[in-house]
Structure formats: structure tokens, C-alpha cells
Amino acid sequence: MSNSRPPLFSVLIALGSNLGDRGWYLRRAIHELRDAVSVVRISRVIETEPVDAPRGSPRFLNMVVAGYTHLSPERLLDALQSIESRLGRRRGARNAPRVIDLDLILHSAHVMRSATLTLPHPRYLRRDFVVKPLGELRLPWRDPLTGHSLR
């Protein structure tokens, strides 16, 4: 009889909200995220201008959380999208305002590209709303593509 446990993966998730009570949506998303991820670090919240969004879009509150999960990248993505749906996100035009946005940035050393998921997130290093909060977490992790430290 095997007593093996599923593998444990390090994950980095970016959160954003620019509609409604933005702070409440971020707090609620973290609360719900704890069902899928053991959250170990949470950045401070920053306010940012929307990127590539329709003109006049409201400002975002953004943050990053780091943790561990037993879920595969695809299963974690499903969990993130389920949280978004439960919190009232309706998918519309790309980069349209939204109550909550949960982006899977890193999933351990996974490097992948599929129709639904690219890891690491292809634009995270060019997005200050991810890079700034990520920098304050001082994670001892490395980007699996570049090998650069995330500290």
C-alpha cells in the first residue's frame, strides 16, 4: 500500500479589481483561494492605471499572493476561474473592467503553452502591477524560463 502524497507546487497568483468595492473583492478572492492554495505571502495592495483597457476604465487595485498547491496548472486555473465566476465576474471584451481578475503567473517550474494557459504568464515581467508587489514578497524562487531570481 502506497502512502504517497500528491506533489506540492509553488504558485504565484496576481489579483486585480477595478469595479465595485475593489478591496472587498480582493479580500474575498484570497479567502476563497485558500481552498485551493496554502497562501504563505501576500503583497500590499497598489492602485494602478488599467493596461490595454478601453478608454475611461477605472483604476485597479492589484496585489500578488504566493503559496503552495497540490493542484496541476490546469486544475488550479479551473479553480481560479470558478472563484472569479462566484464573485460575479462576467467575461466580455478583452481587458474590460471587472470585479475580479485572478492570473496564474507561475506554477513551480512548469513551462507550458496551451489554448487556455501559458506558463509562466507571458507578460508578467512587463507589468508593473505584478512586478512591484512581487518584488516586496522576496521569494526565494526563480523564473523557470529565464532563471532570474524573483527577489
- Provide the pLDDT for residue 90: 81
48 by DSSP, 3-state: which?
strand
Judged on CB neighbours under 10 Å (0-12, 13-18, 19+), 55 is exposed
- Provide the pLDDT for residue 2: 58
pTM: 0.91
Q: Residue 128 contacts by C-beta under 8 Å, 6 or more apart in sequence?
A: 48
Per-residue pLDDT tens over the stretch 82-109:
999 999 888 776 767 889 999 999 999 8
For each of the domains in the chain, give its residue range(s) and CATH number, in order of start.
Answer: 9-137 (3.30.70.560)
Residues facing 69 on adjacent strands: 9
Nine-digit cell string for 125: 515581467
Q: Give yes or no for residue 129 having a pLDDT over 80.
A: yes
Helix (H) or strand (E) holding 55: none
Per-residue pLDDT tens over the stretch 6-58:
889 999 999 999 999 999 999 999 999 999 999 999 999 999 988 877 788 89
Strands 101-107 and 112-113, by their bridges, are unpaired
* CB hemisphere CA count around 143 (13 angstroms): 18
- Provide the pLDDT for residue 107: 95
Per-residue pLDDT tens over the stretch 56-87:
889 999 999 999 999 999 999 999 999 999 99
